[in-house]
Structure 1
Amino acid sequence: MVFCQDLKESALDYFNKQEWKAAEKTYKQYLKNAPKDSLAWYNLAISNFKTHDYKSAIKHFTKARENNFPAPNIVIGLSKTYAEQGDKENLMKTLSHGADNGLATYSLLTKDASFTKYQNYPDFKAILDKVALNAYPCLGQSNYRHFDFWIGEWDVFVNNRKVGENSITMAQGGCAIHENYKTAGNYAGQSINFYDPIDKKWHQHWVGSGGDVYNYLETRREEGLLQFESKFMGPNGNISLSRLTFTLKEDGTVRQLFENSTDEGKTWTPSFDGLYKKKQ
């Protein structure tokens, strides 16, 4: 048993030092006495891959899977091996099965050199779409996509006069929308916008360079429209209500209307009526 443990430690030491041939040899010796060690099978397969012994890599990734090594690692290991072999059929079959079972390694599939030459294949792209939804589930849920009409690079106009620029970008895998607003003067601000699955409403948290803070909560949602309300503190310290409405227009522009109320929402007075036009 001591000898077996020594072999395991030696194999891991070779593996960590990337001495792949020595790791292969030592893991094979160790596994004769410890055939249920899934990590050892996996590390042996990686060592095979690194020495371009792809046939052995496939065999040993399979042994690791039979001994319950985590499925995503096996899928990626086998897929990289098939990719390097040029075995497109087994590559797509393995990745497709993985995607159907929750594979979420989107970044790896788009950046790993083993998959570069497959990026433009339609079936690989279809698999990537599935993996992206596994990795970023908000992308595939309509509630999180309701405010996408605001995403873009915009010039902001009031009465046909440009008053600012706003960069609206998708954030956190599609689970949020980030706003970065600036004017030609000193004023600027940012907000984070997101759908909360607990209260089932959209929220906007805004902070401006003038010390203004708004915590908007959705009050109305329709196709191409989203409305919020928030309390805010005016310059005199009084607390009022703000209503913020975004409306997508037929020409692709977006209207942003701010209204204020000093009587708890009984009456509203417009304070900003802006039109967003996509930058050319």
Structure 2
Amino acid sequence: MQPKLKLGLLFILTLVSFCSSAACNGPIHRQFDFWLGTWDVYSTQGKIIGVNKITSQLNGCSIKEEYQTPAGYRGQSINMYDSQSQKWHQTWVDNNGLLLLLNGKFDGQSMVLEGQGLSAKGVKVMHRITWTPTTNKAQQSVRQHWQSSQDNGEIWTTLFDGKYVRRKS
């Protein structure tokens, strides 16, 4: 191999390695890291209703969620900060056939993602999910509040209000 070609190939490999490792290292990519971990999920009545495992994936460029309940309901999401749109994005799918496509931002206290979908009857529905971490160091928790609206956000109805309590290692 010619020295110039060898040097060019080495430069490209170094650049690719640098870009892939530094692509998602900024503080904005860490805004949803408060959700990482394994969580017991409780209803507002204090009953455990599920387990959620949240992991960092692809060198910190995405966050994978794996949710399951004792009754067999399961769902997964992939979350990422999209540098082009400058918004957070979530794609949620579950074993009932639900697909949610949400976008939004971290407002300094909570991650707020919204998106439009269709009800089982084909009616347009707005979804808004808010994740808010507690500041209580003794018991780390996150509140997830999922709301929907069928009138473009005039009236919101709670679909899910759960408290995520971090499992101890």
TM-score tier (shorter): 0.7 to 0.9
Instruction: Check the 8 A contact 1:176/1:194 in 2, yes or no.
Output: yes
Alignment partner of 2:97 out of 172, 196, 211: 211
Q: Which runs of 4+ in 1 moved over 4 A?
A: 71-74
Partner residue, 1:158: 43
TM-score, structure 1 length as denominator?
A: 0.53
Q: Which letter does structure 1 place at the counterpart of 2:60?
A: G
Q: CA deviation at 1:267?
A: 1.5
Residue 88 (structure 2) pairs with residue 184 (structure 1): no
Secondary structure of 1:263's counterpart equals: coil
Which residue number in structure 2 is paired with residue 240 of structure 1?
125
CA 1:172–1:240: 2 relative to 1, 3 Å:
same
Q: Given the alignment of the two structures, is residue 70 of structure 1 paired with residue 70 of structure 2, yes or no?
A: no
Contact 1:228 1:244 in 2 (8 A): yes
Quick one: distance in 1 between partners of 2:85 and 2:26? 16
Q: For structure 1, which runs of at least 5 residues remain unmatched after alignment?
A: 1-36, 39-66, 75-100, 105-132
Structure with higher Rg: it is 1
Q: What is the deviation of 1:244?
A: 0.4
How far residue 235 of structure 1 moved from its aligned partner, in angstroms, is 2.6
Listed one character per residue, the Cα deviations across residues 136-176 of structure 1 (whole Å, up to 9, x for unaligned) are 22442112111111111111111211111111111111111
Q: Residue 223 of structure 1 aligns to which amino acid in structure 2?
A: G
Q: 1:32-56 CA deviation, whole Å, 9 max, x = no partner?
A: xxxxx54xxxxxxxxxxxxxxxxxx
Q: Deviations over 1:167-194 (max 9, x none)?
A: 1111111111111111111211111101
1:154 and 1:278 in contact (8 A); partners too:
yes
Structure-1 separation of matches of 2:132 and 2:156: 18
Q: Percent identity?
A: 32
* Aligned residue number for residue 225 of structure 1: 110
Counterpart in the other structure of 1:41: none
Q: CA deviation at 1:72?
A: 8.2
- Judging by fraction of residues, say which structure has more helix: 1
From 152, 164, 168, give the equivalent of 1:276: 164
Single out whichever of 188-197 and 135-144 deviates more from structure 2. 135-144
Counterpart of 1:253 in structure 2 is 141
The alignment of Structure 1 onto Structure 2 pairs a total of residues equal to: 161
Quick one: structure 1 residues 134 and 232, their matched pair in 2 at CA, closer, same or farther if it must change by over 3 Å? closer
**2:86 corresponding residue in structure 1:** 200
Task: Select the structure with the greater relative contact order (CA < 8 A; seq sep ≥ 6).
Answer: 2
Contact kept, 8 Å, 2:123 with 2:150, in 1: the verdict is no
Q: Which has the higher strand share?
A: 2
